[in-house]
Amino acid sequence: MFPSRLTTALALALLLGACAQSASTDKPQFPHAAITPAPVAVPALSLENTAGKLTSLDQFKGKWVWLYMGYTSCPDVCPAAMSYLAHEYKLLKNPILVQGVFVSVDPKRDTPKKLGEWAHFYDAHFVGLTGDKTTIAAIAKPLGFGYSFDPPDKTGFYGVEHTNLVFVLDPQGRYVATYVPGDQPGMMAQDFNALTKEKAS
């Protein structure tokens, strides 16, 4: 019985080894990103696009999504992040495999028209989406995206405190990694160029 048990153990060890190897090669590599311990599902809830039509993040399945969340009245951080994304996007060798998406957490001020003009200003391929409070909160939760509205100042302007990260969704629509906007310029594009090259070969 002992040799048989040994054989089983050995076979199991080999199998586990093969699985581990397979998992490591299947796992997308983003040398310049923070990677989630495991892919995180993001709910495919209804969001309003810039034409005022209902859609969801599901429509981008099959592509990698660069998702940034913020608000268009943001004077400093959001424009800098979108500008960063636009520059990285221009460096892509296979831009068709990547979709830039901006989700506004401020639907009160960000009308579809305004959102469309804003997103396209940075890159004509980027899209802007928004939704009601509950939907935004449900999408923000699995991403760990935090946001809160400041009280309005005397002019009525209010800022929104929010997480400043680019979330990467894989072609299955799962959250897999984050990049810090402006950090290591060109490296996000480099990661995706390597990734999509591997996929193409």
Partner 1 sequence: MTTRALVCLALLATPAVAIAAPKPAPAPKVFISQAWIRQPPPGMDMVAGYATLVNKTKAPVVLTGVVSPLFKNAMMHESVRHGAEISMQMLDKVTIAPGKTYEFKPGGSHLMFMGPKHALKPGEQVPLVFQFKGFDAAATAVVKGP
Does 162 participate in binding partner 1 (rule CB under 8 A)? yes
Does 186 participate in binding partner 1 (rule CB under 8 A)? no
Does 165 participate in binding partner 1 (rule CB under 8 A)? yes
Q: Which of residues 20-59 bind partner 1 (CB under 8 A)?
A: none
Which residue, among 91, 103, 66, has the nearest Cα to 178 in the 3D structure?
66
CA separation for the pair 40, 140 (Å, rounded): 12
Q: Which stretch binds partner 1 (CB under 8 A): 50-58, 96-104, 131-139, 154-162?
A: 154-162
Provide the residue type at 133 as one letter: K
- Min CB(143)–partner 1 separation in Å: 11
| Single residue of 77, 91, 194, 195 touching partner 1 by CB under 8 A | 77
Between 80 and 91, name the residue whose CB sits nearer to partner 1.
80
Which residue, among 194, 166, 182, 180, has the nearest Cα to 66 in the 3D structure?
166
Q: Which stretch binds partner 1 (CB under 8 A): 21-29, 57-65, 77-85, 134-142?
A: 77-85
Does 136 participate in binding partner 1 (rule CB under 8 A)? no
- Min CB(85)–partner 1 separation in Å: 10
Burial of 46 (0-12, 13-18, 19+ CB in 10 A): exposed
CA separation for the pair 66, 30 (Å, rounded): 13
Q: Indicate the pairing of strand 166-169 with strand 64-70.
A: antiparallel
Which strand (E) or helix (H) includes residue 23?
Answer: helix 2-26
Tokens of 111: 């009308």
Number of residues located near partner 1, criterion CB under 8 A: 28
Between 150 and 198, name the residue whose CB sits nearer to partner 1.
150
Does 128 participate in binding partner 1 (rule CB under 8 A)? no
Does 164 participate in binding partner 1 (rule CB under 8 A)? yes
Q: Residue 160: which residues within 8 A CB-CB, separation 6 or more?
A: 70, 71, 74, 105, 106, 147, 148, 149, 150
Tokens of 134: 């509950």
What residues make contact with partner 1 under the rule CB under 8 A? 72-73, 75-77, 79-80, 82-83, 86, 114, 117-118, 121-122, 146, 150, 153, 155, 157, 159, 161-165, 180, 182
